[in-house]
Amino acid sequence: MIVQPKVRGFICTTAHPVGCGENVKEQIDYVKARPKTPGAKNVLVIGSSTGYGLASRISAAFSCGASTIGVMFERPQSGKRTATPGWYNTAAFEEYAHADGLYAKTINGDAFSQEVKQQVIDLIKKDLGQVDMVVYSLASPRRTMADGTTCSSVLKTTDGEYTNKTIDLAARTVSEVTVPPATQEEIRDTVKVMGGEDWKDWITALSGAGVLAEHTVTMAYSYLGPELTHPMYRNGSIGRAKEHLFATSKEITQEFPGVTAYISVNKGLVTQASAAIPIVPLYMSILYKVMKEKGIHEGCIEQMYRLFHDKLLADKPQVDEDGMIRMDDWEMREDVQQEVKQAWDRINSDNLQQLADVDGYWEDFYHMFGFGIDGVDYDADVEVDKAVPSI
């Protein structure tokens, strides 16, 4: 099949198997070209197929030399539909890992469910015995609860309507958007989906089954961002969920002897999860421009390699006064934020091209789906039915 991008709103409904594979290879090459990171042997990554979770898995495998089990929720190819990017990424990841003699297996299913937790426990018992690191990198719009009901997460404010600039990425224009406040029920549901409850459920299940090593590190990802995104993010419904995630990290460390839980505050980046947040993509396109000009722009793999190598598995984990790992240290630098703010105040449809890196945003967007990658022939007929070796 000849696979072309089909973009609908915030997502692309097709994915290119060869392009996704190249994307994974580039990330692996990045890590392999850098000093190794001793410290993790058997790593479970929940949300392992795209974005920060995939980059974490690549860092664990190719920098630490770890055996990895991934959990993802992806769709294989069927009929005329290509698989999702996370499926192709995982197929490529496992192939490269196996070629290097690294153990890598993946479970495809709903991480919120008890069944998937049990499948993972059985697999750890059978193949690895125990894991010494658990990365929780889920980003999901909804969660099916044990009683069969569904909670959906919303990206709204918590404090009245909020109006600010936003970008229409397709039209390349700047306009105003008013974001409505979430209801109490929506906030509660967002916390259920993106807060720490399921993370703790995982640690409870893994610990109860005796598959956590004597010293285990677990880590989940958050975002704080500058003031101009606070109404939407930090003080919004998603921010409430992230507060809960942070509180859960403290609970896990207290309640599970031998387990240390961290929150890593990562940089704002284009991923499938972040493209849908109002206002934030305009901020990110300005941020990309400023950070690229300063030579400090990072993508998921640069962030996750630096997290593993310099911060988490350094002699002593590098944390701030609240105990969080700050991978947003370069994003939040005063000189960076000052320039972003100046651009934000001036930006409109006419000067968008000069003040923001919209091309860079689109480049990252297409890359996520395996498009726009150098060296890939997009006119070639490719096999879209790719197997993930362990599934």
Residues with a known catalytic role: 233
Contact between 269 and ligand NAD by CB under 6 A: the answer reads yes
Give, for 44, the enclosing helix (H) or strand (E). strand 42-46
Footprint of ligand NAD on 173-232 (CB under 6 A)? 221-223
- Of 39, 86, 281, 370, which one interacts with ligand NAD (CB under 6 A)? 86
Nearer to ligand NAD, 284 or 379 (CB): 284
Instruction: Report residue 83 as tokens.
Output: 């698989």
Q: Which stretch binds ligand NAD (CB under 6 A): 28-36, 49-57, 156-164, 182-190?
A: 49-57
Nearer to ligand NAD, 2 or 247 (CB): 247
Contact between 268 and ligand NAD by CB under 6 A: the answer reads yes
Q: Which stretch binds ligand NAD (CB under 6 A): 35-43, 50-58, 170-178, 378-386?
A: 50-58
- Of 17, 39, 47, 195, which one interacts with ligand NAD (CB under 6 A)? 47
Q: Residue holding tokens 């770890």?
A: 66
Identify the CA nearest to 236 among candidates 292, 278, 293, 290: 278
Footprint of ligand NAD on 104-163 (CB under 6 A)? 110-112, 137-140
Q: Which stretch binds ligand NAD (CB under 6 A): 32-40, 45-53, 174-182, 287-295?
A: 45-53
- Of 11, 34, 73, 181, which one interacts with ligand NAD (CB under 6 A)? 73
Q: Are 278 and 179 in contact (CB under 8 A)?
A: yes
Q: Which stretch binds ligand NAD (CB under 6 A): 32-40, 149-157, 261-269, 329-337?
A: 261-269
Q: What is the CA radius of gyration of the chain?
A: 20
> Is residue 104 a known part of a binding site?
no
- Of 19, 64, 74, 117, which one interacts with ligand NAD (CB under 6 A)? 74
Long-range residue pairs from 111-117, CB within 8 A, at least 24 positions apart, any chain = 111/46, 111/47, 111/71, 111/73, 111/138, 111/198, 111/202, 112/140, 112/143, 112/144, 112/145, 112/198, 113/144, 114/146, 114/205, 116/71, 117/201, 117/202, 117/205, 117/206
**Residue 238 class from Cβ within 10 Å (0-12 exposed, 13-18 middle, 19+ buried)?**
buried
* CA–CA distance, 262 with 199 (Å, rounded to integer): 12
Counting residues that bind ligand NAD (by CB under 6 A) gives 29
What is the smallest separation between the CB atom of 12 and ligand NAD, expressed in angstroms? 13
> Is residue 61 a known part of a binding site?
no
Long-range residue pairs from 292-297, CB within 8 A, at least 24 positions apart, any chain = 292/357, 292/360, 294/335, 294/336, 296/330, 296/333, 296/336
> Is residue 259 a known part of a binding site?
no
- Residue of closest CB approach to ligand NAD: 51
Residue 317 has a CB neighbour count (10 Å cut-off) of: 14
Contact between 42 and ligand NAD by CB under 6 A: the answer reads no
What is the smallest separation between the CB atom of 377 and ligand NAD, expressed in angstroms? 26
CA dihedral for 275, 292, 58, 205, sign (positive or negative):
negative
What is the smallest separation between the CB atom of 379 and ligand NAD, expressed in angstroms? 28
- Classify strands 212-222 and 259-265 as parallel, antiparallel or unpaired: parallel
* CA–CA distance, 38 with 301 (Å, rounded to integer): 17
* CA–CA distance, 264 with 221 (Å, rounded to integer): 5
> Is residue 271 a known part of a binding site?
yes
Instruction: Report residue 113 as tokens.
Output: 């469910």
Per-residue binding string, ligand NAD, 334-373, x by CB under 6 A, is: ----------------------------------------
- Of 17, 19, 53, 370, which one interacts with ligand NAD (CB under 6 A)? 53
What SS3 state is found at 320?
coil
Binding-site positions for NAD(+) read 47-52, 73-74, 110-111, 138-139, 242, 269-271
From the annotation, which residues make up the binding site for substrate? 223
- The residues of the shown chain that bind ligand NAD, judged by CB under 6 A, are 47-53, 71-74, 86, 110-112, 137-140, 221-223, 266, 268-269, 271-274
